[in-house]
Structure 1
């Protein structure tokens, strides 16, 4: 029987070479029959392939191979380019000795993937941002599987970029970045889909302070606009995952704390299966560490983790706000709710009795409206994941002073979006996250984490 790492590699090769059609459903039985492994190994392989971007795991739909609509080139291209530019900026500062690995396979889709993997691995090493390289790897895998031979990634240009970085040659970097992901015809924004984040559930609003009712009403309005998915209730997996996320975010669970499977199953009246699936989801989003027999723990972040995480999140925020500002034909209700959200953050920053949890809920809801304005589905997914990771820090970061600063920054962002100024909106969107990251670093160093 194949080892799990070999299993993931072998399955990924078949997917990239087109043996499984984009959008196909994959059951554990496929792995068992194809590779002679156990159901436990198959389940772990599905989890790893989900993290790699090859497929999407859902508590309702199971495993679905990447589809063209999951990897829309017009969504991915601005993210891809912005992250590569960040990597180049970091590589210019570091200027170390790196070398790109050679790939000795026959020409074809699998060789293209291995070349992409080698190039992005070098870029991650040269920039000191392995998490950035991992995100680009996911986007690359999704694009190759979803689009097959029509994948918009130009592996030759990407390999040339990696080679140039390895040799500290940056004169032609901008051209190679642009060439590494082909230009596509811009589609109409997918507003509703962009804001329907995976596993979205109604957030908790604490009934404290004079603004609590306003927060609840705002969240309810946006939920009706964007997050309503019909009469079906969230699955047990989504409920457990959301509860753990909120407890981490609000400080009830702290970095390093254990999370027990059986008490959660009893609390939610479910079996251990949905709890384990919730753990896998949170593991993918970087919130927890699954440490085998030792158990499950809230992830600890050191200063390097935090700096890198916020640097990447800042780039994505810049893209998100710029796309909101330049999106064509925004519905009037979006502009109205952008202004209402900015007003709400102002009110919350002035309400001394309002808990920080309500500010986080309101800010996140306003961010959803900016996602709906730009309609970039991929930004929504990545933002949700990175938001989850930084949630570990919010309890120590969102101080009353920080709320005042944040509310003013968001007012400027919304004004730039409404004015149709993508350059300013993008710059401010990046800046607000960078400032939050600086505060998070101060908190970690102060607390000795």
Structure 2
């Protein structure tokens, strides 16, 4: 495909997303009908689409129109690229720019350039204060590709060497002890031997850093209450010997966990909800709760435009409910860890404060935020323990 043809494909997909189709479904639908597109073509089209999703509001403003064509014109202008060079009408490229498109170069207001729904900006301000604008700006750009080295399989240096042998350049970064940032060859990771053999796992740097803050004693019984694919459980188990349990209210989310654990050299018991009480108590219960994912919107930009005030309220209710249920599973003197990949105080310290006020037996033993950064997503961790004299589960 020519560069112009890739732009035309992206426009088609963006229009489907604008009409309500999920981004991944729109990409898959296009790919099924574009058998001629090679892997580099598909990757380039995807990059165009996600760049527009990150800049959904500003690209429409700069392109003068909220269509796929207008947003693609605006996205190119935001990149400093003259869209006329790609909108040529030749070789399946989009039609040449019209008189109005040439005359109106598009302008974006400061509000447009935040690339957030208008209702959400006050929440950013109240949660992040002086960091609100830098965080919104960071979310307009691509996320880093981060790996976690599994110490059960090897060390950082070995992982770097093996990755390099397969065309993947990765460097240690300070955010976490076992973190590598990939700067070249990221699309080769899923098919490289270091990944296939469990030496490295894809995991964001802030998530790795949060797991490193957990104080897990050797031999501890640990439950990942909202395990999903099990990434955080594998990170915990890669650092210390213990007995590992995984649970998720939607059990199908854990379907890949047994294979991932086996690849990483870890044994993990998957528990249904009905089995939790019998398996309790646990020395550590990790609640990586469902959230807006606002700290990860570089990776999932569609989510910030789909979020509604009602959904935010619903999520905080779900988060509070999970904390209350998980607390009953913690052993005396055990720890309840609460994490989100959100930057919003409503999902973070507000939920924790409400939980502690509802059940005064619990108090905050530690709390930390990680900002959206060059090596990590926005992330939150609170460590909760029962107060002295309230040590019964």
TM-score, normalised with respect to structure 2: 0.30
Q: Bigger radius of gyration, 1 or 2?
A: 2
* Structure with the higher strand share, 1 or 2: 2
TM-score, normalised with respect to structure 1: 0.27
* Structure with the higher helix share, 1 or 2: 1
Q: Which has the higher contact order (CA 8 A, sep 6+)?
A: 1
